[in-house]
């Protein structure tokens, strides 16, 4: 099974959507809440190639992107194979 990490904040509606999509796939994921973590946000910017928004999703340590990227992979039928 894939290792999934999602970086979020507690006020982000797209974070909720990304988590709902992952839950609909019946996969487990680690959520890292960066709501009040400025150092964590800076680290995420480095890890994500400069992206400053949340959510940011990583599957097997590969940066997938935000909710729109995750949703697009699902629409293309490519997400399930990444999650397997």
In which domain, by residue range, is 9 found? 4-83
pLDDT at residue 1, as a whole number: 85
Whole-number Å distance between alpha carbons of 71 and 77: 10
For residue 78, the SS3 value is coil
Please report the pLDDT score of residue 49 as a whole number: 96
Span 62-75, pLDDT tens digits? 999 999 999 999 99
The fraction of the chain above a pLDDT of 90, given in percent, is 99
pLDDT digits (tens, 9 = 90+) for 12-50: 999 999 999 999 999 999 999 999 999 999 999 999 999
pTM value is: 0.95
In total, how many domains does the chain have?
1
Q: CB–CB of 22/6 below 8 Å?
A: yes
Reading the block at residue 63, the tokens are 């940066």
Instruction: Name the one residue in this structure whose structure tokens are 């890890």.
Output: 47
Task: Give the CATH number, domain containing residue 46.
Answer: 3.40.30.10
């Amino acid at each position: 099974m894939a290792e999934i990490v999602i970086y979020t904040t507690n006020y982000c509606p797209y974070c909720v959507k990304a988590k709902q999509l992952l839950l609909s796939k019946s996969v487990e994921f680690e959520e890292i809440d960066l709501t009040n973590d400025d150092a964590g946000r800076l680290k995420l910017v480095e890890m994500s190639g400069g992206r400053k928004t949340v959510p940011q999703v990583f599957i097997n340590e590969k940066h997938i992107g935000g909710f729109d990227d995750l949703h697009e992979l699902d629409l293309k039928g490519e997400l399930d194979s990444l999650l397997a």
